[in-house]
Chain A
């Protein structure tokens, strides 16, 4: 009777050892029942270990997603990659101040081993996830070794299941599963966020996009600007492309684009403002298809000494305002018209006059070039007019 009790106790002891051997090891300086800051940033991956960088990235993504699934606000990986100059991120305090981040997460992978022998497999991933506050004080650290074994030999209770798992784990996707399990178990060990998003850090997710404009700044360039919450990230979205704007002053984002940049495939045309945590606001804009008052379709054939600019108002002269307008030729405004002349189309051109009327007086020359100057001194592409002889 006593022997039976002893053997069952030993069995229970072995079982406990087996179970605890797989459990993550937690080192915490938080008080019992303490919580973690709600807004976190995962520092960029450190590729210095022997583990291939693609695999390091997979674990990183799994940790970020695991934290988000537990309702932490996690800064986007691309943001951290652009703001940090090294994996240790010496810019931490500035990032914390500007982007309202309260804690930093470091993922350190120590080793990965994959052993696939025909009758079984045994894979292992070892690493540590630590959280520090903005002053680099350690809050909690979780070290874990995730093991995965199976196959005919190691799943001896079920022959067919052993074969199935052996086949399933013969590919490279085995690492994805292992990374997911590793992340799941580590993140599960972290305490809850300090409070729900609704209670704190609402300023970290609230976002205002007050204006977005796209204007021609020269015949071949247009400038896209947006005004909104400072220390955010603004993008021009054209179809499936996303181009970042630069924050030129707090809350003012701009970038100059070449006329080459258009949206030939259609789709969304908008300005997007994002917080570091991925919350966003959008405002649609229209990318101008041509500089203001493109003259090519507006110039009427010259009649004697005069020609007219259709569907335009030139320096308050409304005489051709509704003349020749259509959906493809909308009304436009021009400040002044510059007229140049040359003896042949190749030039050289000489400025003849500056006119403020939609009806332009042409000089007696073989070739005449006309240029419209619009708002902000933006000029149109020049158009040549062959003079009637």
Chain B
């Protein structure tokens, strides 16, 4: 009787361990993510339990379960890197084009000699100082390093568990400070813990759980949660304050014409402490509006002698820290200058 109870408890513990639903995410953020700093994402690496860089295993994503899975051409580190790059495009960071970063590394001796196609020497890449990368190779403010700490698929007969762990570090090229760091690990399981709906499914579902679509979806989710602190729309204050409002705006061009040697003054009244700009059609874009007193914005456009446009609509925009923009096209038939 006692033995049976002990066995049940052990099974329950086993099942709970395998289900592995709760991921662990640790973030450090030491800068204002709405500041448009330029970052270079360096090639990601995979590391072993000791933290040593290991050569990417090209077979890791090629599953051995025929007919239940499609073939992916990337290694775990390449896959996670592309996911991170895609997620970063949703943040307000200015991410250098991956092709340009790779070209700069290839051109500056960060390759394994004699490899064809050319292979990057990750040990050398990770050993390079961010300052050197941003000043000598590229033009950037910070460097993002990424490591895949874990990429496991385990099969236990009635259960299969996929686990992914990553580490990301954004280092300032100016002072070497860690601007952002995240350490994340998460798991997903198929089989007993997910409630098989028939006896055959007890056997089939754990096998289907080895499909690379499960682990790549897990990695996708993990990356999305890891990058979330950098996304402006994910900041908690996003939902706590009202979006920008423009109560009224006007410009100074009488009859819609800016006189030679004159200027166009635009005033707007709206929500205070925001970033204001105005544009004149597509001819003049994003002239800043200065907030002279709370909610009162003033800006001036001074035409250059070469400027010329006809009947362009003036539009005032206010943007908040969460990236939300409110625009107000000014009444009238637009302004002209020649």
Say yes or no: A69 contacts B85, CB within 8 Å: yes
CA gap between A261 and B38 in the complex, in Å: 23
One of A131-139, A251-259, A310-318, A349-357 at the interface: A251-259
The answer to whether A240 and B194 have CB atoms under 8 Å apart is: no
Write the chain A residue with the least CB distance to B73. Answer: A188
Task: List the one stretch of A154-162, A326-334, A364-372 in contact with chain B.
Answer: A154-162
Residues from chain B with Cβ under 8 Å of A260 in the complex: 288, 290, 292, 298-300
**With contacts A69-B86, A277-B100, A280-B38 known, is A160 near B300, CB below 8 A?**
no
Cβ B34 vs Cβ A73 within 8 A: no
Within 8 A of B (CB), among A169-222: 180, 188, 193, 196-198, 202, 205, 221
B58-99 vs A, Cβ < 8 Å mask (1 yes, 0 no): 000000000100000100000000100110011000101111
Contact of B98 with A69 in the complex, beta carbons under 8 Å? yes
By a CB distance below 8 angstroms, the chain A residues around B94 are: 278, 280
Q: How far is the CA of A72 from the CA of B103 in the complex (A)?
A: 11
Write out the residue numbers on chain B whose beta carbons fall within 8 Å of the beta carbon of A267.
35
Closest beta carbon of chain B to A54's beta carbon, Å:
12
Residue in B closest to A161 when the chains form the complex, CB atoms: B194
Report A276-312 residues with CB < 8 Å from chain B CB: 277-282
Give the shortest distance, in Å, between B94 (CB) and chain A (any CB).
8
Q: How large is the interface on B (under 10, 10 to 19, 20 to 34, 35 or more residues)?
A: 35 or more
Residue A246 interfacial (CB < 8 Å) = yes
Cβ-based interface call for A242 (8 A): yes
Q: How far is the CA of A368 from the CA of B336 in the complex (A)?
A: 40
| Contact across chains for A160 and B286 when beta carbons are under 8 A apart | no
* Consensus secondary structure, chain A interface: mixed
Q: Which residues of A contact B299 (CB under 8 A)?
A: 258, 260-261
Closest to B265 in A: A258
B302/A256 in contact, CB under 8 A: yes
**Taking the complex as formed, is A262 at the interface, i.e. its CB lies under 8 A from any CB of chain B?**
yes
Contact B107 A258 (CB under 8 A): no
Q: Is B282 an interface residue (CB 8 A)?
A: yes
B85 with A65: CB separation less than 8 A:
yes
- Complex CA distance for A75 and B36, rounded to whole angstroms: 19
Q: Are B86 and A240 in contact (CB under 8 A)?
A: no
| Interface residue from A15, A71, A82 paired with B102 (Cβ < 8 Å) | A71
- Asked if residues A279 and B195 are in contact (CB atoms below 8 Å), the reply is no
**In the assembly, what is the distance between CA of A15 and CA of B69, in Å?**
12
B303 within 8 A of A: yes
Given contacts A68-B97, A242-B286, contact A161 B190 (CB under 8 A): yes
Beyond A38-B99, A71-B99, A278-B100, list 8 extra A-B contacts (CB 8 Å): A65-B85, A65-B86, A73-B99, A158-B195, A196-B118, A197-B103, A248-B306, A256-B303
Contact sample, A vs B, 13 pairs, CB 8 Å cutoff: A61-B90, A69-B86, A71-B102, A73-B100, A156-B197, A197-B100, A240-B275, A241-B288, A243-B287, A246-B284, A261-B287, A277-B100, A280-B94
| B interface list, Cβ under 8 A from A | 32, 34-36, 38, 67, 73, 82, 85-86, 89-90, 94, 96-100, 102-103, 106-107, 118, 139, 190, 193-198, 201, 204-205, 208, 220, 263, 275, 277, 282, 284-288, 290, 292, 298-304, 306-307
